[in-house]
Structure 1
Amino acid sequence: MAWDFVVAKTDLRRSEFRDVEPPPLADGQVRLAIESFALTANNITYAVFGEMMKYWDFFPCLDGSGPDGFGRVPVWGHARVEASAHPDIAAGQRFYGYWPMSTHLTVQAKPGRNGFTDVSAHRQSLPPVYNQYQAVGAANELEAHQALLQPLFITGFLIDDQFDENDFYGAASVILSSASSKTAIALAALLKKRGEVNVVGLTSPRNKAFVEGLGFYDEVVLYDDLAASPIEGPAAFVDFAGDAAVLGAVHNRFADELKASILVGGTHWEAPKGTMGGGGALPGPQPAFFFAPDRVAKRQKDWAPGEFEQRYGAAWAGFVADAPRWLKVEVGEGREAMQAAYLAQVEGGTSPDTGVVLRP
């Protein structure tokens, strides 16, 4: 039996399972059985910004229940072709990409060089980076780390590149909130490798030792100590927490010495939000929301064909090879494990040194 895990869009703690019947395949369609996917704070961010950023639109509920206020949270992972009505895609092939929290997904496949693109009508107006699926072989020892980290690492890679293009906005220090989050870790690792700025992580007392042990941050500062901490200015801020209090504390601490304020995620999803690029009376620069697909599109135009993939691939290979040093994988299987893992993320997530991979 196929099923979907659905979440109330206005109350992320409400969730349920719904049995569904996958539709018959039309010409060019492929039905994939989802083997496993990662669940991180990033997926809660997809839900928090689901309406604003159209994340709910990728995977309408199969039973037609979307208007009742429920949706399917997007996740990243691996799936196997269960049935195919496309001559160039065979049953048994495996792909990495963007899936719903479900047992199955039916796509309208358009094969490409390294996989396929889902060209289903409802996805045509959505960012194309999410519609691409990469062909993979048999499972390998880093596959779980790929599912956990690759969709987060690319955001870190793109922000690091934006800093480099803009000469770090003239900052001597780059401050990252939610420093234990996987996207912040990715960015910190890349900035540390460049060695051109002081990399500062903001975190809570419970995560301080973990963040210090990563080796990617030059300084680790508790949120409550920010105002008095002797961080070198000028500074730039990358906000992964999405917490207005944290955003305000950084702006008030540096004021005109803050050269850039970049909003990325919402790990503190229940806290009052920052300005998200709107109004507000914060000193310093206007906070600007970072949207990774726009940055991908820009660099694919700026750089020669294949250069984006080459640069990204080289950076990713080094990062993922090091990941088992600091990230252990916890695997859950079935409905109960999925619901428990989801609720744990909603309530604040797992330990930062643990990544959750789920098998439907």
Structure 2
Amino acid sequence: MAQGMSNSAACREVGINRRTGTRWRYGRKVVDRAGRERVYSPIAEQRDIVEVSPRYLSEDERIVIADLLRAKKSLRAIARELGRDPATISREIRRNRDPRTGKYHPFQAQRRAAVRRARSKEGKIRRDPELKEFIQQHLDRRWSPEQISQVLRAAFPDEPDRHLAHETIYQAIYLPHRGGLERKPGLLRSGRRARRRRRRVDERATRFIAPGTLINQRPAEATDRQIAGHWEGDLIVGQGNRSAIGTLVDRATRYVKLLHLPDGRGAEHVRDALLHAFAELPAEVARSLTWDQGSEMSRHDEFTRATDIPIYFCEPASPWQRGSNENTNAPAPPTSPGP
């Protein structure tokens, strides 16, 4: 296994049962009929456990999982308690429980996870020159990793070790020291040479220097459309980007206000137009504003400090999160000519 083999592959190589190999790796405790306890230590001393990322389950979380399982809690209830996805909890229990008894022991589970992470990071593609050449040829022909993943099953039907998920191919491209594939311009259809980081929901932020608040933190009363005063806004840009106006739509009443922008649509112009528009409104109908992450809102913090009105921002490329404003700005359908 130090050479990168999985537990099952190493057991086949040695000629032993997979469960026997698991006992050799982790050790076991046996009590004979006389009540005497005998401990078989693992074949290799375990490494110090290092938490590499908060997205991995920690030892404390595994202790909570074990406690809640003993309390007969469901997997979904455990996931809610830890703020994790139910699939994460299900996979953790399935992979790291005791293979002999089926029970989940947190410290043993932590050791199993640490040993699994400590395996050789050299991937399947780098270890298999024929497989690597096959994938590289199809990438050069502009095949996507998803297409290559599917064709591998037809090309190597009797070799399941060569059946790869498309994510494995992506990792081999973005991490050439592991996968061995050439990372050159135009290799992928997206044109990316580096992977775009996908942040967790609680780690996401806006693109502005002064961090903005995302729409998932908007109060429930704004989402329910029950109370007036929660507005959505956007710009309508004229032909050739030579002119622009702003639109504000109240989510509850659908009342529309226009922002006059005669001098331009820069951040300072939009800020001043918003200050003027909301100055005319009573406080009862000026509760919040939702906008997209356009550069015209880069001075949103100055508007909020002056008015105490919070601004919430949509996720990138998600105009549907401002549905009222998008529908208001949409051009009217052409009317059919009369008879």
What's the TM-score, normalizing by structure 2? 0.22
Q: Larger Rg: 1 or 2?
A: 2
Structure showing the higher strand proportion among its residues? 1
Greater relative contact order, per chain length (Cα 8 Å cut-off, separation 6+): 1
What's the TM-score, normalizing by structure 1? 0.21
Structure showing the higher helix proportion among its residues? 2
